[in-house]
Amino acid sequence: MTNGRTSDIVVIGGGLIGTAVAFGLRERGLDTVLLDEGDVALRAARGNFGLVWLQSKGAGLREYTSWTRKAVDAWPGFASKLRDVTGIDVRYRRPGGYHLCLSDAERDKRAAMVARIRPGQPHDARTVMLERDELKARLPFIGPSVVGGSYNPLDGDCNSLALFRALHEAYSVRSGDYRPGQAVRRLLRGKGVYGAETAEGTWWAPKVVIAAGLGLVDLGRQIGVGPVVHPQQGQIIVTERVKPFLDVPISQIRQTPDGTLLVGDNSGGETYETPTSLSVMHHLANRAVRMIPELSDIRIVRSWVALRVLSKDGAPVYQEAPDWPGVFFFTAHSSVTLAPMHVTELSRWVADGAIDEEARAFSTARFS
Ligand SMILES: Cc1cc2nc3c(=O)[nH]c(=O)nc-3n(C[C@H](O)[C@H](O)[C@H](O)COP(=O)(O)OP(=O)(O)OC[C@H]3O[C@@H](n4cnc5c(N)ncnc54)[C@H](O)[C@@H]3O)c2cc1C
């Protein structure tokens, strides 16, 4: 054991949440060590769809709607700040976003969800259901199978790999201490400090942030917290580049500014396995072509499966461990969308040593 040191805060997990929080902590001038296990599997941070999405957030937890609204409002300033600090353009755009339905049953289900969220949504950012004719007027390329859909004017997307790179770069520009290849296997208690033990050493700090994605299952157990998250497979297919025609994101299909189309419209199994499936590809491609028939001539160039990090109700969990004061655990399925809040608010809570009263709704107490 040759490594390890004492700092103000140890952040475990260099994915989307951990890196955002670590950057925020460095912005506050705190001596921060960011430990990451490494790319042993396709992490959610590298395999997601890149939506910055409000329209479906909060069906089970109203506070999730307003939290996401704050994130969406913060996004333009956040994207320019990342560009100023790192020179990286994360290609954020907010043209509004759609979700398309291919049957009456899908449309009714969507309408019921939109109705559940509606009371929590501010007037200027309400998700609305649109009939086929209205959709066709706005998106002339949709096929005859589309029966309706939903729309929110504040939805958008970004290049999520650029976002991930920008967060790491911003942390580095702010002289953050990043240690890749450090899987934390044990959490230790010392006098007024906690230790994060890896094969190479132990990193000590009075405060620890666990932002380890699915790694929270094991680390949580060590601090007396039951399973908070579970995996869910998500497969995405990527096409060859074609002339840009889709300048608004649809939750199931988006086109990047360089012409690539991404299709991702499935909820796979609750397993840690990540093989791609031909039948899922077929299902995704088939639905995409029914939504936009022109896609039938476009070639698929690759596909991947990444694991969603889901809580029981799909909403974020932000909490200080009851029996380990100073140890915080953070997880959220929509951490592209919520990145600005993770940089500013989560880092402030950790710096202050307490989670804001208004964010207490995100504790695990809601599950009991
Ligand atoms: C298919 C798919 C599509 C998605 N689409 C969107 C989208 O459109 N919009 C959106 O907002 N979100 C989307 N997401 C969700 C988003 O990617 C996740 O919310 C986000 O990546 C979660 O961040 P995280 O830091 O909690 O986990 P991760 O990004 O998975 O990072 C966790 C990190 O912890 C590290 N780690 C784990 N255990 C340990 C340990 N013991 N010691 C040290 N390090 C450890 C891992 O190496 C990893 O780097 C999508 C996810 C998937 C899978």
pLDDT tens per residue, range 205-251: 999 999 999 999 999 999 999 999 999 999 999 999 999 999 999 99
Q: Which parts of the chain sit beneath pLDDT 50?
A: none
Q: Kind and range of the H or E element at 179?
A: strand 177-179
The three-class DSSP label of residue 256 is coil
Q: Which atom of ligand 1 is nearest to the CA of 212?
A: 34
pLDDT of 41 reads 54
Distance in angstroms (rounded) separating the CA atoms of residues 349 and 327: 12
The full set of domains in the chain, from first to last, is 9-50+161-228+313-367 (3.50.50.60), 97-153 (no CATH), 230-310 (3.30.9.10)
DSSP 55-72: TTTTSS-HHHHHHHHHHH
pLDDT of 368 reads 82
pLDDT of 90 reads 98
pLDDT of 40 reads 63
Q: What angle do CA 294, 296, 301 make, to 5 degrees?
A: 115
| Residue to mutate, 99, 336, 346, ligand 1, most ligand atoms under 8 Å from C-beta | 336
User: Ligand 1: residues whose CB is within 6 Å?
Assistant: 12-18, 35-38, 43-45, 47-51, 53, 183-184, 211-213, 215, 219, 234, 236, 264, 306-309, 331-337
Residue 230 Cα to ligand 1 midpoint, Å, equals 12
The three-class DSSP label of residue 229 is coil
Per-residue burial over 321-339, b if 16 or more Cβ lie within 10 Å, else e, is: beebebbbbbbbbbbbbbb
pLDDT of 42 reads 53
Taking CA atoms, 86 is separated from 22, 92, 169, in Å, by 15, 15, 6
Helices 62-86 and 160-173 meet at what angle, rounded to 10? 60
pLDDT of 199 reads 94
CA atoms within 13 A on the CB side of 247: 4
Contact at 8 Å (CB) between 330 and 256? no
Residue 48 Cα to ligand 1 midpoint, Å, equals 8
Cα 225 versus chain centre, distance:
22
* Phi, psi for 15 (deg, rounded to 5): -90, -155
Distance in angstroms (rounded) separating the CA atoms of residues 19 and 2: 24
pLDDT of 149 reads 98
Contact at 8 Å (CB) between 264 and 232? no
Token pair 């994360």 in the structure block, residue: 90
Distance in angstroms (rounded) separating the CA atoms of residues 214 and 223: 15
